[in-house]
Chain A
Amino acid sequence: MSGFTAFALRRAVSAVLTLLALSVIIYVVFYATPGNVAQITCGPRCSPEQVHQVAQQLRLDDPLYLRYWHFLQGIVAGHDYSTGTSVEHCPAPCLGLSYQSDQQVTRIILNKLPVSLSLVVGAMVLWLLLGVGTGVLSAWRRGRFTERALTGITLAGVATPVFVIGLVLMIVVCGQLELLPFPEYVSFSDDPEQWMWGLLLPWVTLALGEAAYFARLTRASMLETLAEDHIRTFRAYGVGERSIVGRHALRGALAPIIALNANDFGSAMGGAVLVESLFGLPGIGQELVHAVTVVDLPVVVGMVLVIGFFVVLANAVADVLYAVADRRVVLA
C-alpha cells in the first residue's frame, strides 16, 4: 500500500502547487491593473486620507512580488492592520480587509460558506443517487421501453434551465399544493429540521438538472463496459445479469462519474448563483456577484481563491478515489 500512499502524497503536493499558481495569477490580474488600485479598492466614496491609508495597508510602494509575498504571509500567519488610531488583528487565514463593507474578507466568506456547503453537499447526494441510479437502470433495461423513457426524461432534464425547474417547483409545491412553506434559510446549528425543510427545494432544483448529466454519463459508460471482454467471461460462467450490471459494469463505469462529480461539486460552490438568488440563499455565489458589481477587490480575490480551493480539493479527492477504484492508476 506504500505505492498508494506515495500517490496520495504526490497528488496533495500538486494540489498545493496548483493553488499557489492560481493565487499568483489572481493577485496579478486584480492588483497589477493600471489605475489607482487604492482608490478602486477603497471604493468611490472614500476621502483622499482614506485612500492614502489603504495605499499604505496594501503597501503599494513595495514592488509587486513583495506585496504578493505579504498577501501570502497573511493567509498563512495572519496580519495586523494599523488604522492609525488602533490595530486590527486579522487571524490566519487572512484574506485582507474589505474597505467598502469594513469587514475582514475571511469573516465575510465564513458567513456565506455554510450556506453554500449545505446547498451543494445536499444537492450532490441527491444528484448522485438520482443520476447514477437512473443510469444503471437504463443500462440494465437497455433496448426496452424503460430505457427509452428514461433517456427522454434525462434529455428533458439537461435541456431545462435551472431557474425554470426552480420556479415551477416553488409555484407548484409551495404556491398551489401548499406542501411546504416558501423556503427560507435557517442555519443547521439553529434548527436542523427547519434547515432541511428550507433547503429541500433548492436541493431538488440544483440536483435535477445535474442528475440528468450523471444519468446520461452513467448509462453511456456502463454500456461501454458491458461490451468489454471480461463481461463476456462472466456471462460464459453463468453469472446473473443483475450481478454483471450492478457489480462488474458499474465498477468499470465509476471513473468518469467520479471525475464529473469533482468538477461539478467545485463549480457549484461558486456557480449556483441562480439557485441561491431564486431561493434567497445568502451563499458564496450571490456574495461574489455583489462584490464584482461594486468592485470590492479584496472580496473578489478572496472568493475566487476559496472557490478555486474547493475545485482543486474536489479534484484531488477525485484522483485519490480514482486510484482506490482502479489500482492501475497508481502505477501510471
Chain B
Amino acid sequence: MSLVHVTDLTVEFGDLRAVDGLSFRLEEGAALALVGESGSGKSTVASALLGLHRGTGARVGGSVEVAGVDVPRASDDELRRLRGAKAAMVFQDPLSSLDPYYAIGDQIAEVYRVHTRASRRTARARAVEVLDRVGIPDAVRRSRSRPHEFSGGMRQRALIAMALACEPRLLIADEPTTALDVTVQAQILDLLHTLRAETGMGLLLVTHDVGVAAGSVDDVLVMRHGRAVEQGPVAAVLGAPGEAYTRELLAAVPRVDAPRAPSGPAGEVVLEARGLRREFGRGRKAFAAVDDVSLTVRRGETLGVVGESGSGKTTLGRMLVGLLEPTAGEVRHDGHARVGVNPAVQMVFQDPVSSLNPRRNVGESIADPIRARGERDEQRIRGRVKELLERVGLEGARYDRYPHEFSGGQRQRVGIARALAADPRVIVCDEPVSALDVTTQAQVVALLGELQRELGLALVFVAHDLAVVRQVSDRVAVMRRGRIVEQGPADEVYDSPRDPYTRQLLAAVPALDPRIAARRRAERGEVAVT
C-alpha cells in the first residue's frame, strides 16, 4: 500500500475550486514535489493530507489516504494521531510558525508528549536529541531559547526537529526554504536530503521553485489551476517536458549559468557613489549597514547588486535615491553632489501591494510625481498617466481602478509607471520581482529591459536572486555585511568568481538539472566560508 494515495481530490472554498480532481501516489520512502505558481492549489493539497480543512468551511471531495488513515472519513481522534506522529508538516515561515512565548525545546516536547504519553523529562530529552540531529549547535542550551533568539535558518531547523520528534513516515514540507537566503536554503535542502536517506521517511515537497524541486525529489507533479499538468520522474519532466505549460514554466526560470543578451553601449556616468557609509543605532549598539561602498552607473546600463538578507543592499539603494542620508561619503548625480531628493533618480519597490496606497486609484498614485513637479492641468496629467499605463503594458482606461483590482505583476507595472512619471534617468529597483511568480517575473524583467533600451535608462537592480541578477545585469556588485566583496562585468563575476563568498553563493543556487544539483550538493561540502 502506498504511503499517500490521493484519488480525484477536490477542495472548494465557496465558489472557488482550489483543487480540481487531483490524483497521485507517493510510496514509502519516496519523494514527490508539487510544483506550481501561486494559486495553483499546491499548498491546499498539502493541508488536505492532514485534514487541516476540517472545520474551516472548505468542501473536500475524493479520497485521501495517508499512512493507512482515510483522512476525510477519520474521526477527530484518529486525525490527531496521524498529525505529527505518522505525517508531520514543515511550514514556510519559520518565525510565525513557532509560538513566540515558549522555549523551542518545550514546544517540541509538547508535541512529543501528545503522541507518546512520555514524561516531561523524557520528552525534553527527546527535544534536545532531535535539535542536535538537525544541526543546532549546543542543543541543550539552545533548546531553552525562544524563537526570536534563533536565526531564520535555525528556526527552520527547529521546525524540522519538531517534525522528526515522533519519527513520522511522511514529511510534508510546504515551501520550506522560500523565506530563507540562498546559502541557508541550500543547507536546509541538504539537511532534508540527509534525513530522508537516514530515516527512510517519505517526502512531499511543495514549492514554487523548480530548482528547489529538481535537487530534492524523485518525482515531480506540475500543478496549474488545481489540476495536474504533468507528472513523472523529475529528470524526465524537467529534461523533456511533454506539456506546453511545463515548457513555459521552465523557460521563465532565470538561469544563473546563461549569459545575458548584450545591451547597447553604455553612455556617460549618471550616478556615482563615493565611500558611502550608513550607521544605525548609537553608542555600543551602532553598526554600519553599509560600509565604504563606491560604485558608478552609466547611462543605458544595468548594475546588479546582489547579496543575502542583512547585506545592506536595500540601505544602499535607499541612499542612492536620497531616501536615506549617508553617515559618510556622497552620492553624485551627473557629476554633481546630490542635494535632497532628485526626481531624476526614482525607485521601484519590492512589495507592489504595500507600496501602493490601497485607498487611492492607481492613476492618482502615478500622477503624484507629475503633480509634485507643479503640473496643474488635469487634462494633461490624465493624458500623461494613460500614456504611462499603456507604456508598461496596461490599459489606459484602468486609471480609475484600485490596487486590489490588479494582479501582483500588474501592480508592479503600476509601480514602474509611477517611477517613469518623473522622467528619471536612473531607476533603482529594490527586489522588484521577488514577490512574483516566475512567469510574471520574466515579463516584468523583459519590460524593464525594453524601457531601458528605449529611454536610455540606467538601472540599479537590487536582488537576492543570483539568477535574476545575471539575467538583467551588465555589471554586478556582490555585497556582504555592508561591503562590496566583488564587482565587475556580470559574465566575469559569474563565470570566474574571485571572492570565496561569491563562489559559495553560486554553489548554493539550486540547479534545474538533477545531476548538476547532485554535483553541487557534493561541492557544497567542500566550499565553506563563515
Contacts and interface: CB of A to CB of B under 8 A. Distances in A.
A240 B80 CA distance: 8
A239 B114 contact: yes
Contact of A238 (B82, B97, B98): B82
Contact of B80 (A233, A238, A331): A238
Contact of A237 (B96, B100, B114, B146): B114
A229 B100 contact: no
A251 B52 contact: no
B515 interface: no
B503 interface: no
B99 A248 contact: yes
A235 B101 CA distance: 17
A328 B100 contact: yes
Contacts of A328: 100, 146, 148
A236 B50 contact: yes
Given A232-B91, A233-B91, A238 B85 contact: yes
Contact of A233 (B81, B85, B97, B146): B97
Interface residues of A, number: 22
Contacts of A234: 99, 110-111
B5 interface: no
A237 B162 contact: yes
Interface in B84-139: 84-85, 88-89, 91, 93, 96-102, 110-111, 114-115
A251 B102 contact: yes
Contacts of B85: 238
B97 A232 contact: yes
Contacts of B148: 327-328, 331
Nearest to A249: B99
B262 to A, nearest CB: 45
B52 A326 contact: no
B64 to A, nearest CB: 15
Given A236-B50, A325-B101, A326-B101, A230 B96 contact: yes
Contact of B84 (A230, A237, A252): A237
Contacts of B110: 234, 239, 243, 247
B97 A229 contact: yes
A243 B111 CA distance: 11
Nearest to B149: A327
Contacts of A233: 89, 91, 97-99, 159, 162
Contacts of A229: 91, 93, 96-97
B81 A230 contact: no
Nearest to A255: B101
Interface size class of B (residues with CB under 8 A): 20 to 34
B83 interface: yes
Contacts of B81: 238
A300 to B, nearest CB: 43
B146 A327 contact: yes
A236 B80 contact: no
B172 to A, nearest CB: 9
Given A239-B110, A240-B114, A251-B102, A230 B80 contact: no
A228 interface: yes
B111 A326 contact: no
A52 to B, nearest CB: 55
B166 to A, nearest CB: 9
Interface string A237-263: 111100100011001100000000000
Interface string B18-44: 000000000000000000000000000
A235 to B, nearest CB: 7
Contacts of B100: 230, 252, 326, 328
A237 B114 CA distance: 9
Interface in A308-328: 325-328
A234 B240 CA distance: 41
Contacts of B96: 228-230
Interface string A59-101: 0000000000000000000000000000000000000000000
Given A232-B52, A327-B146, A238 B83 contact: yes
Nearest to A248: B99
Interface in A278-332: 325-328, 331
Given A230-B97, A239-B84, A239-B114, 11 more contacts: A228-B96, A229-B93, A229-B96, A232-B52, A233-B159, A234-B111, A236-B50, A237-B89, A238-B81, A247-B110, A328-B148
Leading 6 A-B pairs by shortest Cβ distance: A237-B84, A238-B83, A229-B96, A238-B80, A238-B84, A237-B111
14 contacts: A229-B91, A229-B93, A230-B97, A232-B52, A237-B83, A237-B84, A237-B114, A238-B80, A239-B110, A239-B111, A243-B110, A248-B101, A252-B101, A328-B146
